Every structure is written in structure tokens, then in C-alpha cells.
Structure 1
Amino acid sequence: MKKTGIYLLYGGALFFAIVLIIIFGSDKKTDLKNASVNTQSISAKKNPAEDVKPAEKIQLYLFHSTNRCYSCITAGEYAKKTLEQNFSQELKSGKIEFKEINVDLAENKEVANKFKAAGTSLFTNSIIDGTDNIKEDTQIWRLVSNEQAFSKYLSEKLKKLMGSEASAQETENVEKEDIVFYFGSDCPECENVEKYLQEKDIRNKISFEEKNINKNEEDANQMAEDAMYCNLDEESFGVPFLWADGKCYAGEKDITDLFNEKINGIS
């Protein structure tokens, strides 16, 4: 009887051990299978940059009204010069097409509607597999006071669209969000905006430049050019002032409202 009990005990322990081996062995196989699938998934992923095809053709269109401002005229001159100097072959072959288009003329209504252009604006259309990829460029207007910077920026952008190699820094400069916050000394509203930026931790959420117009005359001139692009006269703007994506925001409320909109879009 005792032997029978011992045999049953040993038999039960052996059975339990076998069950455990089967269970853990199955889990291990499952883990290895999942690991294999995950490895295949990771190796199958491509660098997003590899999925972007070079443009077959690039249209660079500068839209303007009949009465052209200094910035519009200058941008046209700089763009034409840059293309002739750096992309003469592409212009000749038709790979790059540059036009200055008056939106006030009836014959240009169709193309203006296609690009959704009104007044002064610069657009690129990189045509890939016969499909239009139209984008407005607002950064260009902040460079009309510096021909060298204008030419460098435009050249890097066109090279990228054509698939030419560009450094990581060049790519970052082209794609960086175009936001500049202008402020001044002894400015109560500027201080309020600064307090807001700190309380909401805006600097760690949104990338933007900050310029004190009382310490740098070039920054003050740049703010005036930005305001001129937005058709604001000298009496209509002052600090705090924000240039963001081709639009102007003057005063504490407009500036903080825009930042709130942007951070809400991130979260």
C-alpha cells in the first residue's frame, strides 16, 4: 500500500513536471515566433526619406497684383538670378519652370485658382508621377533683405525637391517652422507674453526665434519688413509682434491665442 502511494506520488510529480515543460516550451516558441515577426517588421520598415521620390518637374510661381511692393519685386529678381546662376540646365530643359504671374489679369485666373493664390505669394509645385504637390513658401519673404541668404535658401530647397543630396543641417533649415517673436525693453505686454511663455512651457513645445528690436537694428528692420508683407503701416504694429507662417500677429492676445492653438494641435 505504501509502495503504491509512493508510485502515485512520483507519477503525479512526473506528470506535473511534464505539463510544466509543455507549457513553458510553448510560451518560449510563441515568444521566439513573435520576436521573429517583430524583427521582420522592423527590417521591413523604410526610412521615410526613401519613400519621397525626386520631382519630375518643379514649378516655381511668384504671384503678384498689378501694384507690386518692393519685397515682391525684389523676390522676383533674386529668384530669377538664383535660377539662372545655379539651375540654368534645369531651366533650359524645362525641369524647373519659373513664372511671375499677375493675379489681377483675367488670363491668369485659372492658374491662380489652382494654386489658391491671392495677392503676393510664392508657390512651389513638385510634380511626382504626374501628381501636383503644391506648397506655399512664406519663409522666402523674410530673406528679401539678404540676397545671399535668399539664394542659399532657395537653392537648397530646389535641390531637395529634385532629390539632390543635402546635409542634415540644410534639410533642417529648409523645414524649420517659420515663427519669430519680436519684443522690446520696457514693454508691459511683452512681459506678459514672456510670463505666458514660461507658465505654459512654450519654448519646449514649439521652436521659434526671439528678437529684441531695442538691441538689434537689423531685427527691428526685419520686423518692419514682416509687417509690410502683411500690409500693416507703422502705426498699426509694435511689440509684442509675432511672424508665423507668413502671417502677422500684434499684441498679447493675438500672440498667446496663436500659441495656444499650436500647442493644442500638438497634444
Structure 2
Amino acid sequence: MNKLLLALAICLGLNACGSNGTKKDNTTNVEQTQLQETKDRVEILYFHGKQRCATCMAIEKNAQEAVESQFADELKNGTVVFKTIDISKAENEKIAEKYMVTWSALFVSKWKDGKETYENLTESAFANARTAPDTFKSGVIEKIKTLLK
């Protein structure tokens, strides 16, 4: 609860600092982000650095294909969220620290009543995304289906 209030205060403070009396389009984005942060959902988080190998690119490509092909409706309504996060960018430092990510990684997290549980799928992703993409995609799909229940 305190984290949510702090995040809200920061967002409102940042919005107020940039305000010149006119309504900006990013207010809608802030409101959507706040709504999404409180909504029950499953997030697929693919982390990567500035340089990526063939396997790293296969993880992102195949994870995104699996999600988009099986969960199109859930992506539209926000029940499933796919995020690609470049950990070499300063704005992504905090999320990388939260998940203790220092290189390419794949996480699936479930948000329920404002609380998160997550699973690190990185080992399976590196083992299968490039050499056995169908196995990898099936695993991602099954994990998401399980978490949506």
C-alpha cells in the first residue's frame, strides 16, 4: 500500500512539475499506467542488454509470438502484458535491480490484488528458444494459462 501511494505521489509530482497550465497528452498515459498497476494481470518480462546474441533475440521473438498468438484478447484488455526491457537504459535500472537481472532474462509474473509473484524462466528460455522453439513457446503458453486461472 505504501509503495502504491509513493508511486502515485511521484507520478503526480512529476506531472505537476512539468505543467504549464495546459493539459498534456501524457496525463492519460499516467492514468493508464496507474490503472494497469492495480489491475490483476500476468506480465511477461523480457530483459536484454545493448548487445544480444542469436539466442537472446530468439527468446524475445518466440516469447512474443507465443503471447500474441495465444493471448490476443488478453493483451487487448490488459490481462496479459508483454514488456521488452533494455537494461542498458538508465530508466530501466530499478526494474533490473528488482528482478536482479544483469543480462538477458525472461520472467513471468502474476499480479493479484496488488501483490506480485513471479517465476524466472531464463534457464528454460536459453535451453530451448533457439534450438527447440515449439517446446519453448509451449512452456511459455502453459505457464501463462496456469497463472491466469
TM over 0.5: yes
Aligned to 1:108: 92
What is the rounded CA distance, in whole Å, between the counterparts of 2:108 and 2:137 in structure 1? 15
Query: Are residue 78 (structure 1) and residue 93 (structure 2) matched?
Result: no
1-side partners of 2:142 and 2:119: how far apart? 16
List gaps (5 residues or longer) in structure 2.
1-38
Report what 1:134 is aligned to.
Answer: 118
**Cα distance in 1 between the residues matched to 2:104 and 2:147:** 23
Residue 84 of structure 2 aligns to a residue whose secondary structure is strand
Inter-partner Cα distance in structure 2 for 1:134 and 1:153: 15
Contact 1:64 1:120 in 2 (8 A): yes
Specify which of 152, 165, 184 is matched with residue 138 of structure 2: 152
State the alpha-carbon separation in 2 of the partners of residues 134 and 95 from structure 1.
15
Q: Secondary structure at the match of 1:60?
A: strand
Inter-partner Cα distance in structure 2 for 1:63 and 1:152:
20
Alpha-carbon distance in structure 2 between the residues aligned to 1:134 and 1:83: 17
1:18-77 CA-to-partner distances (Å, cap 9, x unmatched) read xxxxxxxxxxxxxxxxxxxxxxxxxxxxxxxxxxxxx92111111111001111100100
Q: In the alignment, what sits opposite 1:57? A: 41
How far 1:82 sits from its partner (Å)? Answer: 0.8
List 4+ stretches of structure 1 deviating above 6 A: none
What is the distance in 2 between the residues matched to 1:67 and 1:157? 28
Do the aligned partners of 2:124 and 2:136 also contact (CA within 8 Å) in 1?
A: no
Q: 1:142 Cα shift?
A: 1.1
Q: Which runs of 5+ in 1 are unaligned?
A: 1-54, 164-267
1:161 aligns with 2:147: yes
**Pairing 1:1-267 to 2, within 5 Å after superposition:** 56-137=40-121, 138-144=123-129, 145-163=131-149
Question: The residue matched to 1:126 in structure 2 has which SS?
Answer: strand
Higher-Rg structure is 1
Q: Report the TM-score when normalising by structure 2.
A: 0.69
Report the RMSD for the aligned CA atoms in angstroms: 1.4
Q: Provide the C-alpha distance between the structure 2 equivalents of 1:125 and 1:156, rounded to a whole number of angstroms.
A: 13
Q: How many residues align?
A: 109
Matched-pair contact (CA < 8 Å) for 1:64–1:101: yes
Query: What is the identity percentage for the equivalent residue pairs of Structure 1 and Structure 2?
Result: 27
Distance 1:152 1:109 in 2: 30
Q: Is the 8 A contact 1:115 1:134 kept in 2?
A: no
| Secondary structure in structure 1 of the residue aligned to 2:137 | helix
CA contact (8 A) 2:48 2:56 kept: yes
Q: Which amino acid aligns with 1:139?
A: S
Q: Which residue of 1 aligns with 2:21?
A: none
Conserved in 2, the CA contact under 8 Å of 1:59 and 1:97? yes
3-state SS of 2:101 partner: coil
